[in-house]
Structure 1
Amino acid sequence: MSAAARDTEDVAALACRLAVLLAAGTAPASAWTHVADSAGSSRRVQRVAASVAEGLSVPDAILASVRAIERKPPARQRAASQHTDAAWLAIAAAWQVASDAGAPLAGTLESVADALRDVEQTEREVATALAGPASTSKLVMVLPGIGLLFGAALGFDTITVLATTPAGWACLLIGSALLLAGRAWTRRLLGAAGRRSTTPGLELDLLAIAVGGGASVDRAREAVRAALERCQLPMGDLALAEETLDLSQRAGVPAAGLLRAEASQQRSRSRGDGARAAAKLGVTLMLPLGACILPAFVAVGVVPLMIAVISSSLGTLPA
Structure 2
Amino acid sequence: MKWRRSAAVSDAALAADSVLRLSVLLRAGVAPLRAWTYLADAGDPIAERVRSVLAAGADPRAVFADAGDPWPDVGAAWRVATTVGAPLAGSLHDVAEALRDGQQAADEVRVALAEPAATARLMSWLPLVAVGLGVALGFDTLAVASNPVGMVCLALGAALIVASRQWSAALVRRAQPAPGVPGMDAELTAIALGGGVSIERARALVREARPEDAGGDVDRALALSRSAGVPAIDLLRSTAWLARHRSRTEGRLRAASLSSRLLLPLGVCTLPAFLLLGVAPMMLSIFSSGVLAI
**Structure 2-normalised TM-score?**
0.93
Match of 1:286 among 257, 260, 263: 263
Any idea what the Cα deviations from partners look like across 1:132-160, whole Å, max 9, x if unmatched?
A: 11111111111111111111121111112
Match of 2:283 among 287, 291, 306: 306
Report how far residue 169 of structure 1 moved: 1.3
2:17 alignment counterpart: 13
Paired AA for residue 218 in structure 2 = A
Q: How many residues align?
A: 288
Match of 1:235 among 197, 213, 220: 213
Unpaired stretches in structure 1, ≥5 consecutive residues? 67-84
Where do 1:184-223 residues align within 5 Å? 184-223=166-205
Match of 1:50 among 26, 49, 52: 52
Paired AA for residue 125 in structure 1 = E
Contact 2:168 2:265 in 1 (8 A): yes
Q: Distance in 1 between matches of 2:91 and 2:7?
A: 26
Report how far residue 315 of structure 1 moved: 9.9
Moved more, 298-307 or 49-58: 49-58
Q: Distance in 2 between matches of 1:278 and 1:17?
A: 34
Distance change >3 Å, CA 4–CA 225, structure 1 → 2: farther
Match of 2:274 among 297, 301, 304: 297
Q: Distance in 2 between matches of 1:87 and 1:4?
A: 17
1:264 alignment counterpart: 241
Any idea what the Cα deviations from partners look like across 1:234-286, whole Å, max 9, x if unmatched?
A: 213x2321221122223322211110001000000001111100100000000
Contact 1:48 1:58 in 2 (8 A): yes
User: Tell me, what secondary structure is at the counterpart of 1:313?
Assistant: coil
Report how far residue 23 of structure 1 moved: 1.1
Contact 1:98 1:209 in 2 (8 A): yes
1:82 alignment counterpart: none
Paired AA for residue 136 in structure 1 = T
2:97 alignment counterpart: 114
Distance change >3 Å, CA 5–CA 119, structure 1 → 2: farther
Compute the RMSD of aligned alpha carbons.
1.9
2:3 alignment counterpart: none
Does the alignment pair 1:25 with 2:29? yes
Does the alignment pair 1:254 with 2:237? no
Q: Distance in 1 between matches of 2:73 and 2:195?
A: 18
Contact 1:58 1:95 in 2 (8 A): no
Contact 2:286 2:292 in 1 (8 A): no
Q: Distance in 1 between matches of 2:31 and 2:191?
A: 20
Report how far residue 189 of structure 1 moved: 0.3
Q: Distance in 1 between matches of 2:115 and 2:133?
A: 26
Does the alignment pair 1:155 with 2:159? no
Report how far residue 53 of structure 1 moved: 2.1
1:95 alignment counterpart: 78
Distance change >3 Å, CA 123–CA 195, structure 1 → 2: closer
